[in-house]
Copies of this chain bind each other. A is one copy, B any other.
Amino acid sequence: MKTSNTPDKFIEAIGNLGESIGLNRTVCQIYALLYITPEPLSPAQIGRMLGISKGNVSINMKKLEEWNAVKKVWLKGYSRSFYNANEDMEGIIFDKLKTGLEKRNRLLEEAVNGIKKSLKAKGKIADKKLMRHYSSRISKVENLLKQAELFTKNIDLLKSLLKK
C-alpha cells in the first residue's frame, strides 16, 4: 500500500462529502485520488492505493465513466487501461445535479398525479368539503413542481451567473 504518496486527508474528506449527498463513498474516493494524482492510474493501482478489491474498483470505475468524471488514457507500451480524472469538477457536479433534479421532478409529478387520481376516483362519493381541501393541496404542490421545473431548466444560466 503506497498511500504514503497520496494526500489521504483529501481523499477521506471527499469521500465523506460524497457520502453526505447520498453517493457511494468509494466512488468519490476514486475520483479524488485521480484528481490529485498527476499521472494516470490503472485500476490495479487504484485498488492498491485505496485498499479495496478489484471488483469494487471495477464497479465504481464504470459509474465514474457513465458520469464522465474520468477518462480512459492509453499509455504507450501498456495494453491495460489507465484513467485520468476529468478536471472539470464543477461541470460534473452540475451535470449530476441536473439529472438528479430531473429525476426528482418526475417523482414529484407522480405525487401530484397520485393525489389527482385519488381525487377523481372518489369524485362520486366524496363530500364537497374534502374535495375542496384536496384541490387546494394539489394546486400548492403543483406550483412547487412548476418552480422546481423552472429551476432545473435554468440551472445552466445559474451556473454562468455564479461564475462572475
Identify which of B11, B108, B115 contacts A36 (C-beta below 8 A): B115
Q: Is the CB of B10 within 8 A of A114?
A: yes
Q: Does A151 contact B (CB under 8 A)?
A: yes
Give the contact-size bracket for chain A: 35 or more
Q: Is the CB of A38 within 8 A of B118?
A: no
Q: Which of A49-91 contact B (CB under 8 A)?
A: 87, 89-90
Q: Does A103 contact B (CB under 8 A)?
A: yes
Q: Is the CB of A38 within 8 A of B111?
A: no
Q: Is the CB of B107 within 8 A of A17?
A: yes
A115 to chain B, nearest CB (A): 4
In the complex, which residues of chain B have a beta carbon less than 8 angstroms from the beta carbon of A1? Answer: none
Q: Which of A11-57 contact B (CB under 8 A)?
A: 11-14, 16-17, 20-22, 32, 35-36, 38
Identify which of B11, B17, B108, B117 contacts A104 (C-beta below 8 A): B17
6 A–B pairs (Cβ distance < 8 Å), ordered by A: A7-B115, A9-B111, A10-B114, A13-B107, A89-B141, A147-B162
